[in-house]
Amino acid sequence: MNLKDTNPRVKTVFSLSTLALILTAAALYAGPLNPPVGPVASTHKTLTEVEPRIAINATNTPGDADSLFKIGAPGSYYLTGNIQGVSGKHGIEIAGGGVSLDLNGFDMVGAPGSLDGIRLTLSGQTNLTVRNGSLRLWRGCGIDLSASAGNVSIHDINADSNTLDGIRVSDGASVVRCTASYNGAGGLRMSNGGQAEGCIASWNGTEGIRTGDGCTVSNCSAFQNASDGLRVEIGCTVSNCSASNNTGNGINTAYGCTVSNCAAFGNANNGILCFGFFGNGGCTVAHCTVYSNTGSGIDVNFGSTVNDCTVRHNILDGIRCGSQCTIRGNTCTNNYTGGTNAGIHAIGNDNRIEGNSCTGAARGIDVDLAGNIIIRNTCSGNTTNWDVVAGNVCLVVQGVTGAAILGNTGGVAPGSTDPNANFSY
């Protein structure tokens, strides 16, 4: 439209409309025309808000005479890079409680003469967490938080080739998804009431995993350690674990423990030993597979129960028990045929041996003392199927074989209708 030919009134309306559009655009893109009173504040986040933790460095956590870095106040701390150890110092010293330390995936490497990788030096502290990184070649422990009074959590840590223990913690600690290997002492050592879950301990100088009383060990693997694979004290629970090719026992417990759904293979002593101390026993071993150990497959003491286990190719007895035990529903096959050892060997009295299958050993079931009950077991293919002294409750029947069966009927009675009879076949 040509404004020269337009009515002046139209020109005025057009100009006002144009001005209104300009003002509206300014309001939209230039911010408010009347800003709030006071200094202008930034809308950006501070570094603390972006990373609300404290970096481990010489400024935030300066070390002292025996540490490269020292944490002295509660808070959340993290590594920003690898740490190289020096002689005479810990890598990181923790001197207080309420500390969460994230290694952030970095590597802490010791040096000749160095101390622990991470150490709590002030006793009685609580609420400590260390996670997500590796510690190796320290001349003490990889991590030593044993001075803590409780509430310790360590997870996703690799502790490798340290002179003492890979990881050492106090009462009530939780150690999850950690690996400890080639350490000069133990892989993982924990005190009373703790939990180890999903951990691997291998090639360590003593036990792979060792606990105090009342601990839970689950879904862990211990192999090629220079002593026992797993050693736990009074009242512990071990479940879904594997212990193989250790120089000592695969799994070694004190009294009052439960071992279930575990495998013990190729250990230089017993597969599972639940012997206790001072005549105590009272352990339960259930649903375990124990194979090719140099000692006995399973060895339990007074008042213990072994049920539904598979025990095979062990050099000594398949299952060995003291007194007052229940040995029920186990399969014992091919346990050492060259000596006098047995599929099941009871060396005490007041035992109940029931519903087991024993084949391919020097002796199927061997009972040394009077006062036991032996019922509903089967023995076959042993050099001597039964070796039971006088004074026990035991009926053994030679099973009767029948002709071939094809179809819906056939066969003969096994030789006895007594529901508690034991059978040789």
Q: Verify that 207 and 120 share a domain, yes or no.
A: yes
235 secondary structure, DSSP code: T
User: What value does the CA radius of gyration of the chain take, rounded to a whole number of Å?
Assistant: 35
How far is residue 152's CA from residue 170's CA, in Å, rounded to a whole number? 8
Q: Verify that 181 and 218 share a domain, yes or no.
A: yes
> For 334, phi and psi rounded to 5 degrees?
55, 40
Q: Flag whether 47 is in a domain.
A: no
197: domain CATH number is 2.160.20
Return the closest-CA partner of residue 385 out of 425, 327, 338.
425
Q: What angle do CA 42, 48, 49 make, to 5 degrees?
A: 65
Q: Flag whether 389 is in a domain.
A: yes
Structural domain ending residue among the three candidates 169, 193, 227: 227
Sorted by sequence, the CB contacts under 8 Å of residue 406 that are 6+ apart come out as: none
Q: Flag whether 193 is in a domain.
A: yes
Structural domain ending residue among the three candidates 202, 227, 252: 227
335: domain CATH number is 2.160.20.10
The pLDDT, as a whole number, for residue 284 is 98
Q: Flag whether 71 is in a domain.
A: yes
Q: Verify that 251 and 148 share a domain, yes or no.
A: no
121 secondary structure, DSSP code: -
The pLDDT, as a whole number, for residue 46 is 56
Which tokens hold the place of 41? 């504040």
Q: Flag whether 17 is in a domain.
A: no
Q: Flag whether 69 is in a domain.
A: yes
CB neighbours (10 Å) of residue 310?
16
Q: Verify that 200 and 268 share a domain, yes or no.
A: no
Q: Flag whether 18 is in a domain.
A: no
Q: Tens-of-pLDDT digits for all 425 residues of the chain?
A: 444 454 544 444 445 455 444 444 444 444 555 666 767 666 566 555 566 899 999 999 999 999 999 999 999 999 999 999 999 999 999 999 999 999 999 999 999 999 999 999 999 999 999 999 999 999 999 999 999 988 999 999 999 999 999 999 999 999 999 999 999 999 999 999 999 999 999 999 999 999 999 999 999 999 999 999 999 999 999 999 999 999 999 999 999 999 999 999 999 999 999 986 556 789 999 999 999 999 999 999 999 999 999 999 999 999 999 999 999 999 999 998 677 899 999 999 999 999 999 999 999 999 999 999 999 999 999 999 999 999 999 999 999 999 999 999 999 999 999 999 999 99
**DSSP assignment of 145-210:** ETT--EEEEEEEEEEES-SS-SEEE-TT-EEES-EEES-SS-SEE--TT-EEES-EEES-SS-SEE
How far is residue 139's CA from residue 110's CA, in Å, rounded to a whole number? 7
Whether the model clears a pTM of 0.85, i.e. scores above it, the answer is: yes
How far is residue 397's CA from residue 403's CA, in Å, rounded to a whole number? 19
Structural domain ending residue among the three candidates 227, 260, 290: 227
- What's the structural domain count of the chain? 2
Domain span at 161: 52-227
Q: Verify that 245 and 365 share a domain, yes or no.
A: yes
Return the closest-CA partner of residue 310 out of 266, 375, 263, 270.
263
Q: Are residues 108 and 118 in contact, defined by beta-carbon separation less than 8 angstroms?
A: yes
